[in-house]
């Protein structure tokens, strides 16, 4: 497995204003009771409703090993979404909207090269935010051109004469341009291909690159946690590790002012590729994690991929579980998108 596929196969405004760190801290309503081990700012404002905020996010890309375990061609065709993945993305959006929420999608730019993108435009029309996932699913922490993406290993002439930073910057710009020019969709946030255990900490250059590109927030951090050996049922210790990692998956602000909204473990790729879990095991991990989030009035950013989750969970059991738990929590929780988490806005029922 390539290093940037290890963890994951991994704004409501058209032109969001930049937020200073102080401004975001002033506006943020992220609950922090019991999150001392998080290590990042998590302020609570007395005039903000103290409730859990739960987001459902889907990355629109193809995933190695799905739908068949021997499928590896997707490493070179991340944006060549198959019909089943597109249908699952649309049906999931309808399902969550019917429960009063939205799904925050992140789109690989090459999806916009397909003949029919009406399904993507339908999602945007229905009010679901669609963010930038780079054009080719590139690795932002690459140290040399060979690490950027499989496609460029096979076709190095595509990036000939450009530095690694230039290629990454251009890949981000192209995804924004493709969404606007082909689909008429204004970019709603940025998620890195691959999740990093420390996010973009210590990479002020990348933080500034995103700020310069017009982003006020990023979703790049995926906290470390235990997993099982392939096809081994998770123990309580593994589940506890995943739940404990939720404290490290709370939003914070980098010194540059860029807001980070981490991905919450465990992702579908981590479970179904990394551990080759059964669906019931995954549902239990999600149940425990969302329960912790509601109890601590924290943030949960569910991460999955239609190309993977749609194969393992065709009946939307995971999405229904999340929606059910939020609904049953009443005023203690709400379904939100990542724009709302980044801005600190609460949704009044």
- Mean pLDDT, range 53-74, rounded to an integer: 96
141-180 pLDDT, tens digit per residue, is: 999 999 999 999 999 999 999 999 999 999 999 999 999 9
Q: Cα–Cα distance between 186 and 129 in angstroms, integer?
A: 9
pLDDT band of 344, cuts 50, 70, 90: confident
pLDDT of residue 139: 98
Contact by Cβ (8 Å): 190, 218: yes
Angle between the 279-295 and 236-244 helix axes, to the nearest 10 degrees? 40
- Residue 321's nearest CA partner among 99, 51, 77 is 99
Q: Cα–Cα distance between 29 and 344 in angstroms, integer?
A: 5
pLDDT of residue 49: 52
pLDDT of residue 50: 85
170-219 pLDDT, tens digit per residue, is: 999 999 999 999 999 999 999 999 999 999 999 999 999 999 999 999 99
- Which residues are bridge partners to 54 per DSSP? 300, 335
The residue written with tokens 């019991």 in the block is: 34
Q: Cα–Cα distance between 267 and 303 in angstroms, integer?
A: 5
Q: Cα–Cα distance between 240 and 226 in angstroms, integer?
A: 9
pLDDT score of 15 more than 70: no
pLDDT score of 39 more than 70: no
Q: Cα–Cα distance between 104 and 11 in angstroms, integer?
A: 10
Q: Cα–Cα distance between 164 and 121 in angstroms, integer?
A: 32
pTM: 0.86
């Amino acid at each position: 497995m390539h290093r940037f596929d290890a963890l994951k196969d991994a704004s409501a405004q058209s032109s969001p204003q930049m937020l200073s760190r102080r401004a975001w801290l002033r506006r943020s309503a992220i609950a922090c009771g019991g999150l001392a081990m998080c290590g990042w700012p998590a302020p609570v404002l007395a005039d903000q409703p103290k409730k859990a905020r739960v987001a459902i996010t889907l990355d629109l890309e193809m995933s190695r090993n799905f739908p068949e375990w021997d499928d590896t061609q997707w490493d070179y065709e991340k944006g060549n979404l198959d019909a089943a993945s597109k249908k699952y993305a649309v049906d999931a959006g309808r399902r969550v909207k019917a429960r009063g929420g939205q799904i925050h999608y992140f789109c690989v730019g090459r999806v916009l090269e397909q003949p029919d993108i009406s399904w993507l435009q339908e999602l945007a029309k229905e009010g679901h935010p669609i963010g930038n996932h780079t054009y080719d699913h590139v690795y932002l922490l690459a140290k040399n051109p060979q690490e950027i993406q499989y496609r460029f290993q096979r076709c190095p002439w595509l990036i000939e004469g450009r530095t690694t930073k230039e290629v990454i910057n251009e890949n981000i710009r192209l995804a924004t341009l493709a969404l606007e020019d082909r689909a008429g969709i204004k970019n709603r946030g940025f998620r890195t291909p691959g999740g990093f255990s420390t996010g973009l900490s210590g990479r002020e250059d990348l933080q500034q690159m995103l700020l310069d590109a017009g982003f006020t927030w990023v979703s790049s951090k995926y906290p470390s946690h235990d997993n099982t050996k392939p096809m081994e049922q998770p123990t309580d210790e593994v589940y506890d590790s995943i739940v404990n990692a939720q404290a490290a998956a709370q939003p914070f602000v980098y010194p540059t002012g860029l807001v980070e909204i981490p991905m919450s473990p465990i992702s579908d790729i981590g479970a179904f590729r990394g551990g080759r879990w059964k669906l019931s095991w995954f549902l239990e991990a999600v149940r425990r994690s969302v329960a912790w989030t509601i109890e601590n009035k924290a943030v949960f950013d569910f991460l999955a991929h239609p190309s993977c989750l749609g194969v393992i969970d065709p009946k939307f059991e995971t999405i229904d579980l999340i929606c059910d738990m939020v609904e049953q929590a009443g005023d203690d929780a709400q379904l939100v998108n990542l724009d709302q988490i980044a801005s600190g806005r609460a949704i009044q029922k």
